[in-house]
Amino acid sequence: MGRAGARGRRAAAVLVPAAVCVAAFGYGLPKLAPYHGVLGTFRALTSGWAVVVLAAAAVNLLANWVFIAAAIPGLPLRRAAAVNLASTAVANTVPAGGAVSVGVSWRMLSSWGLSRRSFAVYTGVTGVWSTLAKLATPAVVVLVLAGTGRLTSGNGAVATLCLGAAICAGAFIAGVALVRRSLRDERAAHAVGRGAQRWADRAFRLAHRTAPTTIAAAVVRFRDDSVELLRARSRRLTLASIGNDLGWLLVFQTCLLACGVPQSQVPWSRCLAGFALARVLSAVPVTPGGVGVIELGLTAYLAIGLDPAGAARVTAAVLLARALTYVLPIPLGAVAYAGWRLRRPVARSEAAAATEGAEGAEGGES
């Protein structure tokens, strides 16, 4: 029964996302705009606009790499790029790819000399920062639209956006309070560590094994290391998170203009609201990277009230933006991973030499 249940869960993890994608791309999007109109928009795309959208996509990728480099002091930007592309390629293609992508990141970073302890801090801090940024974005967008008097619409999409933004804002405030408490109060870290140790003891007892006795100490150590990193790099991480958001928005707005969608049909305020809506939809972990869900939801919101030709141009812009932000990292990630595999022996020798040098320096000081 247990094995059958596990097989059923694995099958569902593959079949449910596949069914959502088939429904979105095979039924939902063609109902909004027939694909022949979308293909016509792509054919009309000029080489000049193609260069512009590729440049916007490059800026967006660069923002991701800067974020990783900001979280790992001393990591060159080229290595941050390789880690980001390879892990993103896995996350965007494999069921439960988020967990697998962490393993890919660890293999690459450890080959360059990053310790387990530093990797844990990097994973924890970037995960928290990215989650908080994702939660904050819809609320910030709603505030900007309200402040400029553009939070008006004749459909229920804005109401959905406002509701999602309110929920995200509440989760963001709670998350910030929890992070501040955990980082500022050492007693809270010790309490969390003791709780984690108790839960680990119970879980290992059920498996008839002995739990490690260092979990509580590891939690406190993680907290201390995180405080040290954030003390030095919190501003850089925050700016890099904002850059991530602006990079995606730049790609999205550029694709709308490149596909011939004028401001009179989709003004900047509607584009901004669509971006926030995509953020809310991406929080629903139905498919890897929200593929299918984001395309359908975003197109439905932006194409409301447009004629068939306008809806086709909007659909083309959404698909182009998603191709540049979701699909493009997959082949680039495969190339980056293959390049790392070829250079892995060299990377290990460099990491070993760096470790030996550090140990020699410590011996000389003593």
pLDDT tens for residues 155-211? 555 676 677 778 878 888 888 887 777 777 777 777 777 777 777 777 777 777 776
Domain that includes residue 40, residue range: 36-350
Interval 270-308: pLDDT, tens: 888 888 778 777 767 777 777 888 888 889 888 888 888
Alpha carbon distance 340, 84 (integer Å): 12
In a domain, 135, yes or no: yes
Interval 300-329: pLDDT, tens: 888 888 888 889 999 999 999 999 998 999
Total number of domains in the chain: 1
List the one residue out of 279, 282, 198, 285 whose CA is nearest residue 245: 279
In a domain, 87, yes or no: yes
Alpha carbon distance 351, 121 (integer Å): 19
Alpha carbon distance 233, 226 (integer Å): 10
Cβ pair 87, 333 in contact under 8 A: yes
pLDDT of residue 345: 57
In a domain, 5, yes or no: no
Count the Cβ atoms, other than its own, within 10 Å of residue 357: 10
By the 10 Å C-beta count (0-12 exposed, 13-18 middle, 19+ buried), 179 is classed as middle
Alpha carbon distance 213, 200 (integer Å): 9
In a domain, 172, yes or no: yes
In a domain, 85, yes or no: yes
Alpha carbon distance 73, 266 (integer Å): 41
Which residue reads 């560590």 in tokens?
Answer: 193
142 SS3 class: helix
In a domain, 20, yes or no: no
What are the DSSP E strand ranges found in 232-330? none
In a domain, 83, yes or no: yes
Please indicate whether residue 353 or residue 40 has the higher confidence score (pLDDT).
Answer: 40
In a domain, 221, yes or no: yes
